[in-house]
Amino acid sequence: MSFFANLFKFGSQNMAIDLGTANTLVYVQDQGIILNEPSVVAIETINGIKRVKAVGDDAKMMMGKTPDTIEAIRPLRDGVIADIEIAEEMIKHFIRKVHGKRNLFRYPEIVICVPSGSTSVEKRAIRDAASNAGASEVHLILEPMAAAIGADMPVTEPVGSMVVDIGGGTTEVAVLSLRGLAYTTSVRTGGDKMDEAIVSYVRRHHNLLIGDSTAERIKKDYGIAVTPEDGVGETITLKGRDLVNGVPKEITINQAHVAEALNEPIGAIVEGVRIALENTAPELAADIVDQGIVLTGGGALIRRLDEHLREETGLPVSIAEDPLTCVAIGTGRAMEDPIYRGVLMSA
């Protein structure tokens, strides 16, 4: 059996997958990141039979605009698999896209990152999805560790360092030292909760219903963690459905309103950081005073978030060089570099 296993592995490209709530990134050994697409699958039902219509970018464009026969699903919620069958189809699609149809009989080794708060059942679901999608071996790596490796933090040294990875579904706060997590907490708040906060703010204050895609665009283009200095900031035009008259309508809000809307989810992230600092051993805390806190993940791109955290904690806060790809790069490095192999867990 081992002969056949090795035969199937021959020529296959080992992969590292950052299976995110919002986006999935695939890192291929010796090539780097070659795929970055939304974690969305469109399922079409014809005569009671379901089939995959689109995955990734194509499926994301359909969100909120599908007829009754098509459903755009996000198989991951809060950083973990909510629908294992759909997640399996998505992983299969991405493996095929990377390997090409000629290589269907090649079985790669796959490293997948998981949130630090994942239960053993959730980890098993991820492992099973990857195995069923054609992996010969599946290894897991904890998300904050992958983020820290991707951000070039000294995770292998006896130095305490703190990483805050703000993803789509969860925010991972971790103190790392000597290839391990000295303390970690997973806050179920991330980019999705920020989108929801914007939707509910606009509904509450303006009686206007906007879609998740519109809320996400506002967050990316105008999201700010503190009220702008002039108390107003940039103005934003929104289109949605008037909840009073039921007709399409256009309104104007400003950045100060967006900051007010994001106040609660950002407050939850700050509280998670504070709890982690309270539970950190004194020697590691002393290192963090020198090293500071590093922000990674898409949420790190919210304007003035680093400044807000600096004020709340009194510690130096910096943003990783490329926060969006930190986790995928770190997962890939852990797969390639023998120095980091110790951080991988067998699923």
Q: List residues forming the annotated binding site.
A: 21-23, 168-170, 216-219, 298-301
CA 133 – CA 89 distance, rounded (Å): 7
Distance between CA atoms of 89 and 114, rounded to whole angstroms? 18
> Residues annotated in the binding site for ATP, as ranges?
21-23, 168-170, 216-219, 298-301
Assigned token pair, 137: 């071996």
CA–CA separation, 29 and 344 (whole Å): 16
CA 56 to chain centre: 14
Asked if residue 209 lies in contact with residue 221, where contact means CB atoms within 8 angstroms, the answer is no
What is the per-residue DSSP string for 140-206? EEEHHHHHHHHTT--TTSS--EEEEEE-SS-EEEEEEETTEEEEEEEES-SHHHHHHHHHHHHHHHH
Tokens in use for 228? 């702008």
Query: Which residue in 148, 90, 108 sits closest to 27, CA to CA?
Result: 108
